[in-house]
Structure 1
């Protein structure tokens, strides 16, 4: 049997097919951004808005247009924004814009990419996934459930949604090939692939370091809302909602796409056991990766006790940098610098996002915008209950407009934090609840690389994905909304 490979899966990527709407946005993105900048920069300063805030707003809004329409790469937009902020007087000092690349959140992101590269190179993730399936996947439903558990487990030590999909899709394809499931016809194949991409997204929402978007969101919550959200605080707040949502949509998926026990699972498990045997004994690299990962998780999980144990505290960011250092150290580690797949374009984008977002926040421009929004929508007349619920649902379905998690985080989290401050609500609770929805990019194939990898397998259609995802997003929004008024209070966030 020829084994499916990830290259085959992603070779005919739906992302490469550009629609008319996307082409139109790219064509007009720069002219619209320039027009927006000039209008906001040159118009008479509105009452209640300072000159510096107006200029910050001009840079922010024009950058926002470019980030959404992407006529140029998003990191180039960030570079231009960082350059413009001091030039047009949107910030008082050049360092306020240029220094964002040194934020601790940037170091956390760099370290997460190094750790991801080490886990993938060591083959530890693939070994763990194969072991779980062969150990616990004895029936169709148990196989599906086991794959979901694997996705959630991998999220703890593979802080990249795409990396996890890269590990999981070939295993799913091997599984389905053994079961003789026909792409486009097998409901078992549909459910396996659709729940795979959903489990990837929901598991990511439960772990702060599982994607850069979560880390960026925490940066905003802690710096702008006065929060103290760390690894364990995020896990405690978000993981229960992610698990509850996944359990509910697991059974809903089996209702939407009914499956029957018609496959020879015994032979399938035998094939996967052979794949596991081919990996042989644990390699030195896998052992190193396990030790580094275990140390990292222990330090993250015991952050509240460091002061008592060591006399000093090791922050989430310091732990991540330590893990990256151990991965890269000669003889001790398992990576060279060239092998560390660090997304520097994302680093630059994040730096620019923090620069324009920070400028807008410090100049009170964001506060002014939210006041206008509150007055325009009548949110000041709504109860806090409905504002919380409305924000969660808006955040959940906002990925239908934005194709980038990081752009959504940059736009929405600061805005909702400012909204909470304006309405006298808890900005940490509202910001965190909104951030928990940001990874639910599951409705259409182009909404994430994970979607594309699973979709390219051919086992489900766009309509299949839309149908299942709309239900999943609704369930997720309801669960998160309920958590705000129940679980958040119990753990002391709201």
Structure 2
């Protein structure tokens, strides 16, 4: 289980007993310890082997080779979960300096000063405040109570709407999955043990906590950490700043993919006309148990609402998204507004993920600046060259899903892929932003194993489905995601002014 998941569990454990139980599971501590230690030793061995034992490949600079060593170290650390994600993020700049990949800690740690990191941190602090106040749960239950559903299909669509609303409040798919887990467990608890009812529970949990969390997060810049990695990369390497609203314009069609996954999941599990036994009563009982909303709750919503309005109107007032977020942070801590302690807020803020993001952006920058991305791109070019644009996209997307079988973190995977994709695009005659986003986006739909996405690990903790159930329905869902990127998203990007097949197309925003 990943350190990122453990951090999420710690924040949510008092509210969500099932997650707390998972985090204290002592069934396999020895295996986990052996795996982590083996990964730790392997990571350092590979680092030194590349630095000292590997001859310098033709066309690769010495700094690119050093960056490759650090990249390999980080990949192994992340795959084996050998050290906490926060520590890995902090160690990356140090390794870039010691290996002479990047001169000086100031430049090597450039990811820590990237505006995206500040935006991410503010989003996490807002999320922690919402959690302490209970607003995330209040909003989810309120929506479910208003939309009265009687079937499994209707419930899944309603929960997708809840996911969309939570995207503006909770800035990570794993945190949204954790927020909704007790609500979903309460609903599935009313189903019996017949084959039809077991299948209903599987469909609800997989679609709501995994597919819904990931798909809904694609269109909101702050709702999915890989979005921030891509935004930061485009800003540093191409000097292109994608605003909150422009990101929404580019990505909102991804919401339509949920229609296809919902059709497939309900077909596979045969849940189209299955009704919910006592579901509405559960929701109403949960909502009645909530304390009455007070002045603090209303004040938090007002401040966050104003921040959201400023994000949506950035093209008029010209204040960057990260600056607006910091202004909102200043407003929320106006003396007397919050009746909560800073310690409670900091305990629920995902600091480790912030450090991971900063370290990821640092190595991402080094991969580009040392020429490693260009060298790796030239190696991939020989495989993809000569195919039409959709063929290239298909090859690279499917290759990405093979690579993702061994990695849990979306942030880690996109960090490794994005700079290479950005360098590969012009070599293949493709638009760099469109190509990078399309391939990196499909990484978020790694649905074959529960261990590929933290939200899926949280969903697996519900006990509603097995890894076999998940894999069988997930393989087709991955193919749906790949086809959706090629058939729907690529033409949509072209309509927005960034056609994949035209690398010279001017930036339209």
TM-score by length of 2: 0.86
Query: Which runs of structure 2 are paired with 1:106-117 in the superposition (5 Å)?
Result: 106-117=117-128
CA deviation map 1:379-411 (0-9, x unaligned): 223233311222233335543221111110111
**2:9 corresponds to:** none
Query: Which runs of structure 2 are paired with 1:155-304 in the superposition (5 Å)?
Result: 155-180=167-192, 186-197=198-209, 198-241=211-254, 243-259=255-271, 267-279=278-290, 281-304=292-315
Q: Distance in 2 between matches of 1:471 and 1:155?
A: 26
Structure 1 residue 389 corresponds to structure 2 residue 389: no
Displacement of 1:283: 1.8
TM-score by length of 1: 0.88
Q: Distance in 1 between matches of 2:212 and 2:25?
A: 21
* Greater displacement, 449-458 / 118-127: 449-458
**1:37 corresponds to:** 47
Q: Distance in 2 between matches of 1:264 and 1:467?
A: 25
Displacement of 1:275: 2.7
Displacement of 1:199: 0.6
* Greater displacement, 170-179 / 141-150: 170-179
**1:357 corresponds to:** 364
Q: Distance in 2 between matches of 1:16 and 1:409?
A: 32
**2:322 corresponds to:** 317
Q: Secondary structure at the match of 1:186?
A: helix
Displacement of 1:493: 2.4
CA deviation map 1:290-311 (0-9, x unaligned): 11221121111111111xxxxx
Contact persistence 2:385–2:392 (CA under 8 A): no
CA deviation map 1:21-65 (0-9, x unaligned): 977753443443334333332344333222333333333333333
Contact persistence 2:78–2:407 (CA under 8 A): no
Q: Distance in 2 between matches of 1:271 and 1:44?
A: 64
Q: Distance in 2 between matches of 1:398 and 1:238?
A: 24
Structure 1 residue 464 corresponds to structure 2 residue 469: yes
Q: Distance in 2 between matches of 1:264 and 1:437?
A: 33
Q: Distance in 2 between matches of 1:485 and 1:160?
A: 25
**1:89 corresponds to:** 100
Q: Secondary structure at the match of 2:168?
A: helix
**2:502 corresponds to:** none
Q: Secondary structure at the match of 2:109?
A: helix
Contact persistence 2:136–2:166 (CA under 8 A): yes
Displacement of 1:461: 1.8
**2:74 corresponds to:** 63
Query: Which runs of structure 2 are paired with 1:284-433 in the superposition (5 Å)?
Result: 284-306=295-317, 313-333=318-338, 335-340=340-345, 341-375=348-382, 377=383, 379-396=384-401, 398-433=403-438
Displacement of 1:110: 0.8
Q: Distance in 1 between matches of 2:247 and 2:466?
A: 34
Displacement of 1:466: 1.4
Q: Distance in 1 between matches of 2:473 and 2:361?
A: 34
* Greater displacement, 454-463 / 190-199: 454-463
Q: Distance in 1 between matches of 2:89 and 2:274?
A: 53
Q: Distance in 1 between matches of 2:280 and 2:38?
A: 53
Contact persistence 2:408–2:454 (CA under 8 A): no
Q: 2:159 aligns with which of 123, 147, 158?
A: 147
Displacement of 1:182: 6.8
Aligned-pair Cα RMSD in Å: 2.9
CA deviation map 1:218-237 (0-9, x unaligned): 21233234433232222222
Contact persistence 2:124–2:349 (CA under 8 A): yes
Contact persistence 2:191–2:198 (CA under 8 A): no
Assess, with a 3 A threshold, how the Cα gap between structure 1 residues 147 and 182 changes in structure 2: closer, same or farther: farther
CA deviation map 1:426-454 (0-9, x unaligned): 11001111232233244333333322332
* Greater displacement, 18-27 / 142-151: 18-27
Gaps of 5+ in 1: 307-312
How many pairs does the alignment contain?
481
**1:454 corresponds to:** 459
Contact persistence 2:438–2:490 (CA under 8 A): no
Q: Secondary structure at the match of 1:132?
A: helix
CA deviation map 1:338-369 (0-9, x unaligned): 22223222232233222233223212122122
